[in-house]
A and B are shown apart, each in its own frame.
Chain A
Amino acid sequence: GAVVSQHPSWVICKSGTSVKIECRSLDFQATTMFWYRQFPKQSLMLMATSNEGSKATYEQGVEKDKFLINHASLTLSTLTVTSAHPEDSSFYICSARDAGSGDTGELFFGEGSRLTVL
């Protein structure tokens, strides 16, 4: 199946710093990528939909200036957590669909990034 690579897997940072997480589709093109946040023992919360070449669409309650999303190419989307604080500590997961799969294609997920803000 298709592979989505997410990096870094783990990151620890000091409060007030910014952290960038990369999401790459390795063997397919993804016009749309999705960023999720998962709290312990909870389901995935959709944060935003990343569209190649245009602005991301954020879900209600997600701060656009806090979570910057850039989708510069058909294989790369980045999430930057700006001025991170301990409450931003979480597991962030990206996912993508093959651009050629239409409405019936499944999502392929990255391995997730565990962010810990001290």
Chain B
Amino acid sequence: AQSVAQPEDQVNVAEGNPLTVKCTYSVSGNPYLFWYVQYPNRGLQFLLKYITGDNLVKGSYGFEAEFNKSQTSFHLKKPSALVSDSALYFCALYNFNKFYFGSGTKLNVKP
């Protein structure tokens, strides 16, 4: 069975500090993994994806994610958080023509 888990409902970080939003997955076969961001009353915006190749994926707005096959994780990271990064973040897995979304993690970046 395919699934995505985001263990943290909320992550709080001070501006300028590094941030990590966690994601783990379960899939049969090779995983195609994605991160999206959602601002209030808006659709989702694509940040980055892992398909194959280098385990460290760089995406939009300075975000990156590290694919770890042994830990079945795909954590989202950013070296220095901005207040404008405050939003809802979704990890997603693609398998058999469907996207499976995690429950979302609300990121709060405080000045």
Which among A44, A93, A110, A112 has the highest number of chain B CB atoms within 10 Å? Answer: A44
Q: Please, which residues of chain A bring their CB within 8 A of the CB of B46?
A: 1, 106-109
Contact status B104-A43, CB under 8 Å = yes
Report yes or no: A106 in contact with B101, Cβ–Cβ below 8 A. Answer: no
The 8 A CB mask of B86-106 against A (1 = contact, 0 = none) is: 000010101001110111100
Residues of chain B at the chain A interface (Cβ within 8 Å): 32, 34, 36, 41-46, 49, 51, 90, 92, 94, 97-99, 101-104
Query: Would you list which residues of chain A between 45 and 75 have a CB under 8 Å from chain B?
Result: 46, 49
Residue ranges of A at the interface with B (Cβ–Cβ < 8 Å): 1, 4, 6, 32, 34, 42-44, 46, 49, 91, 93, 95, 103-104, 106-112, 114
Task: Name B35's closest neighbour in chain A (CB-CB).
Answer: A106
For residue B44, give the distance in angstroms from its CB to the closest CB of chain A.
Answer: 4
Contact pick for B43, options A1, A43, A103, A112, CB 8 Å: A112
Which one of B41, B44, B94, B102 contacts A103 once the chains associate, using CB atoms below 8 Å?
A: B94
